[in-house]
Amino acid sequence: MLTLEELYKSMLQRAVDGKDVKAVTNGDLKLMDCLAHPQDKPLVWRVKPCLCPPDQADCADACDWGAFHHEADGVAIDDSKCVGCQACIDACKMDALTTKKDIIPVVQELHDYNGPIYALVAPAVAGQFGPDVTSGRLRTALKSLGFTGMLEVAVFADILTLKEALEFDKKVTSEADFQLTSCCCPMWIAMIKKLYHQLLPNVPGSVSPMIAGGLTVKALHPEAKTVFIGPCLAKKAEMKEPDLAGAIDYVLTYQELRDLFTVTNIDLASLPEDNQPHASEAGISYAYAGGVAGAVAETVHQLNPDRAIDIKTRKADGVPDCKAMINDILAGNRDGNFFEGMGCKGGCVGGPRAIIKKEEGKANVQAYAKNALYRTPMENPYVIEMLKKLGFETVEDFLEKSDLYDRQLD
């Protein structure tokens, strides 16, 4: 019987070759179905028998979201409660748990779908595929695979930075007021919704840059398919949330994309440049802890440099530190009025499916951001250009008259 990894590589190669992905001998039929049709499967799969006693299930103990329960043959996971943090997988001593892979149906879409398919790449991508693999070369590679184009999600982070900065300027008018960012990490939002519901009034109802990107593409190209590519497993859960479903069709990790480059033998470093930089330094900085807070603070200062109540930011990265910061807020020890939380240490560059170490990832993102043509979204003409394509002449016009990027968090 093939191992899961052997089965995955064999089926991926068959998908690339345009062959029936299930025509593999010596493969477990259940796992084959999971790999071929992951869309309707849970985020976390159990791939081995569960041998732990019910009262010693390390995976369940590691889950902060109440997603585990016990059945006759071992632990089971409630997919509606799973946020994709991977704590259960890291805690399982038997290596019985793994996360789903979505790459095979994406490859099949690239072969078979007649409409446009856009890749939306997360800001943490800088340097993930090697020091010589620029954004322009990655765009060339994705187009060679069949994608219609590649969009940097950082440009949608620019738009949401403006949105959050304007929200802050409008609502934080006294020392008692404060705001928790809503536009970065799905684990952070899940934590507030599930564990600290009383703070939801302090969270502006904004979608994430990933969702904003998908909504924008589909507003301009209703027949398009959207594929988000990043270092995060939680994004696979976020795309399925009822009020967000449909914006993104597939979420791939950097590791899944690397697997596809491997089986297609694409030499990324030798490809020609197709460079189309659209994001500001601020939007690119969303990739690491403190980047959202820094971007919003700089934009607030540009919007209203003479504010009576200045923006004072705090950040936390990693679930324990996020909880500690929120508990400080609830205890009255705020020491800030704008709070950013990231579920992974280091932020998105420390995501569980990043390819390089978070320190290297942060350095690469910062270097890429420093070369951006614009420092903040206030200076970025591509933001206005995109909003005009959506039918809005100014950012203020968009924020007053559109609910495209709004969501209800309660």
Nearest partner of 341 among 182, 169, 162, 175, judged by Cα: 182
Which pLDDT tens digit goes with each residue over 370-390? 999 999 998 999 988 988 888
Between residues 117 and 73, which one has the greater pLDDT? Answer: 117
Does residue 21 contact residue 104 with C-beta atoms inside 8 Å? yes
H or E segment and range at residue 195: helix 186-195
pLDDT of residue 50: 82
Calculate the average pLDDT of the chain: 93
* Mean pLDDT of all residues in 177-182: 93
Which pLDDT tens digit goes with each residue over 320-360? 999 999 999 999 999 999 999 999 999 999 999 999 999 99
Which pLDDT tens digit goes with each residue over 14-39? 999 999 999 998 888 989 999 999 99
Is the pTM value of this prediction over 0.85?
A: yes
What totals of helices (H) and strands (E) does the chain contain, helices first?
17, 11
Nearest partner of 342 among 333, 352, 334, judged by Cα: 352
- CATH T-level assignment (fold) for domain 37-100: Alpha-Beta Plaits (3.30.70)
pLDDT of residue 403: 87
Nearest partner of 337 among 315, 304, 317, 312, judged by Cα: 312
Nearest partner of 259 among 103, 38, 153, judged by Cα: 103
Is a pLDDT exceeding 80 seen at residue 74?
A: no
How confident is residue 209, by pLDDT bands cut at 50, 70 and 90? very high
Domain boundaries, the chain: 1-27, 37-100, 101-410
* Mean pLDDT of all residues in 314-324: 95
H or E segment and range at residue 228: strand 225-230
How confident is residue 402, by pLDDT bands cut at 50, 70 and 90? confident
* Mean pLDDT of all residues in 115-131: 97
Rounded distance, CA 141 to CA 37, Å?
25
